[in-house]
Amino acid sequence: MKSKKIFGMQIPENVENISVVCSAARECARARGFSQEDVQTFCLVVEEALTNSIEMGFGDTENEVDITIYNITSGLGVKIDSVCLPLEPEKLPQYNFQRVSQYNDTTGLSYHLMKNMSDSFRVSISEDGARELYFEKYIPEQKVKDAVQRKKTLRVATEHTKRFAVPEDAEKISRLVLRSHDAVLFGESIYYPDMVKEMLAEKRMVSVVAEAECGELIAHFALLKDISGDRVEELTYVVSDKNFKSRDTTKLPAILIEDAKRRGVYAIQSYVVTNHIYAQKGCLADGFSENALYLALNTASRHKQNEESSLHRIGTLGLVRYLGARESAPLFLPPRHREMILDIYAHMGVEPVVAEKTAESDSMRGCSQIVTDVEFKEGWMLIVVKEYGPDTFSHLKSEFYKAVVQGIPSIQLGLPLANAMTLEMCSEFESMGFFFAGVSSGYNSSENLMLQYLNGVDPGFDSIHTFSDFAKKLKSYVHQCWEERAV
């Protein structure tokens, strides 16, 4: 369909700026010949589309959203470009009017309104997280408008019961996560009911939910297997429903911890974004301690303004809570980072045995055991060495160069501290531009040294907010290592 641009604007990612665009949209519709009623409908769709783009973004008020309005043969077209979670609307939980009246659950309402008040609607997502939302409104209007409107409601006071989730909870869990999106960001799997059901059924995810008296799920906590070790799990998908008020809803469930201990888990890792401090405060209250700071780890949160500008990314703080005894093997600490590593363990209440010797002859005996995890949409790769072998260095270099060529922005490398070869490997990779991130739990109740590499992206130290004094100290040290890295 032939089109001509008649209006364009970039606005900061803040709902307060929506009214400016709506005013321009109203004038465009009037000039195009829309009736008064159609002008109002067109402006409502523009408002809803902008609200959705901002709500599905990453919460940084410095981000920008691009809006373009076109004259098309039969009316007006609107294109909105933003960077947000790469979710496919048709796979998400859909709007259900009965759930609105029963639970005040407006999940899916935004897409429902946009589809029903426009004549053509589509959403496309690129691998780097950029989203294009496009709709058209024709003259005269032929669609029936949906009368459902957004409304503010008071929080409902309720009692709740915490229990283990079952596959049949999948739809409610996805709805809960979507409702809580303004506070947290996750990988796409948890937003799709079919994927949640599969993870629960196959026990790839162990979840505890808080169920309100009315039967609605108002909080969710999950443990997933972590690539860093076979007895290490990640605490993730932690959300609560702001529409309900219930005591201790956000407190980490004891039944989840006890179940993890029963299954032989010795450490739980948690990764929280650093564009705010709320999740950090929650983890610390639940007995976690900071052990690493990963720069530019999360999906781009700043809209690209031109071809040359780089995308801003969000840093992530790593935290750990030990449930069982650690391996007692001595740790080989790189001299350069020895003091900081000992400070991290002291902060966690751990006193490791430190090896004073250098590499022994049997440190490279046997075959390399290396595991990798990569997420192209979110832009990161994790490489963890389980066992060293004669080909370990060449294998790691191959994986690293492959990631660089593929344009992966953030690369992390885990090296076993109980093996003396880590001293040599640390020096080798730091000479290639890697720098210190911290430590993490590893295989067989051991520990890993964590290094990181940024591939053409800014570390974003100004946007990293830390809560505790120790987290501030860790940030300062990582910043120093970044400044002193080999380039």
**Element (DSSP H or E) covering residue 483:** helix 469-483
Give the whole-angstrom CA distance, residue 483 versus residue 355: 29
Q: What was the pLDDT predicted at 307?
A: 35
Lowest mean pLDDT among 218-222, 230-234, 479-483: 230-234
Tell me: pLDDT of 360 over 60. Answer: no
- Give Cβ neighbours of residue 210 (< 8 Å, ≥ 6 apart): 160, 161, 162, 217, 218, 219, 220, 240, 246, 249, 253
Partners of 468 in the β-ladder? none
Taking the CB of residue 74, how many other CB atoms lie within 10 A of it? 13
Residues 131-170 pLDDT 10s: 899 999 998 743 333 334 444 556 789 999 999 999 999 9
Nearest to 438 by CA among 265, 228, 237, 127: 228
CATH code given to domain 3-138: 3.30.565.10
Residues 70-95 pLDDT 10s: 999 889 999 999 887 777 888 889 88
Task: Please provide residue 97's backbone torsions phi and psi, each rounded to the nearest 5 degrees.
Answer: -60, -35
301 vs 4, more confident: 4
Q: Report CA-CA distances (Å) from 456 to 211, 309, 403.
A: 45, 11, 12
Give the whole-angstrom CA distance, residue 148 versus residue 112: 10
Alpha carbon 240 to its chain centroid, in Å, reads: 16
Tell me: pLDDT of 432 over 90. Answer: yes
Give the whole-angstrom CA distance, residue 129 versus residue 378: 7
Q: What was the pLDDT predicted at 229?
A: 64
Partners of 83 in the β-ladder? 130
For 177-255, strand residue ranges (E) read: 205-212, 217-225, 232-240, 244-245
Q: What was the pLDDT predicted at 142?
A: 38
Fold held by 157-483: Aminopeptidase (3.40.630)
| Overall average pLDDT of the 233-244 stretch | 91
| Overall average pLDDT of the 319-324 stretch | 92
| Overall average pLDDT of the 369-395 stretch | 88
Lowest mean pLDDT among 355-359, 402-406, 470-474: 355-359
Q: What was the pLDDT predicted at 99?
A: 85
The percentage of residues in the chain with a pLDDT greater than 70, rounded to a whole number, is 89
Specify the 3-state DSSP secondary structure of 456.
coil
Taking the CB of residue 236, how many other CB atoms lie within 10 A of it? 20
Tell me: pLDDT of 335 over 50. Answer: yes
Q: What was the pLDDT predicted at 301?
A: 37
Average pLDDT across the chain, whole number: 86
Give the whole-angstrom CA distance, residue 323 versus residue 47: 49
Query: 331: which DSSP letter?
Result: B
Tell me: pLDDT of 362 over 80. Answer: no
Q: What was the pLDDT predicted at 226?
A: 78
| Overall average pLDDT of the 22-46 stretch | 92
List strands edge to edge, sheet with 160-164.
160-164, 205-212, 217-225, 232-240, 267-273, 314-322, 289-298, 435-441, 447-454, 410-416, 380-387, 369-375
Lowest mean pLDDT among 47-56, 309-318, 400-409: 309-318
| Overall average pLDDT of the 9-35 stretch | 89
Tell me: pLDDT of 303 over 80. Answer: no
Tokens of 409: 């922005």
Q: What was the pLDDT predicted at 144?
A: 35
Tell me: pLDDT of 290 over 50. Answer: yes
Tell me: pLDDT of 20 over 60. Answer: yes
Dihedral of alpha carbons 178, 183, 188, 194, sign: negative
| Overall average pLDDT of the 264-273 stretch | 91
Nearest to 224 by CA among 275, 269, 262, 186: 269
Query: 175: which DSSP letter?
Result: H
Tokens of 20: 């400016």
Tell me: pLDDT of 311 over 50. Answer: no
Q: What was the pLDDT predicted at 223?
A: 95
Tell me: pLDDT of 258 over 90. Answer: yes
Domain range summary for the chain, segments of one domain joined by +: 3-138, 157-483
**Element (DSSP H or E) covering residue 78:** strand 75-83
Tell me: pLDDT of 109 over 60. Answer: yes
Residues 113-136 pLDDT 10s: 899 999 999 998 876 668 899 999
Tell me: pLDDT of 357 over 50. Answer: yes
Residues 409-427 pLDDT 10s: 999 999 999 999 999 999 9
Q: What was the pLDDT predicted at 149?
A: 45
| Overall average pLDDT of the 50-70 stretch | 82
Residue 184 near residue 316 (C-beta atoms within 8 A):
no
Tell me: pLDDT of 67 over 90. Answer: yes
Q: Report CA-CA distances (Å) from 88 to 134, 258, 278.
A: 14, 36, 28
Rg (CA), the chain: 25
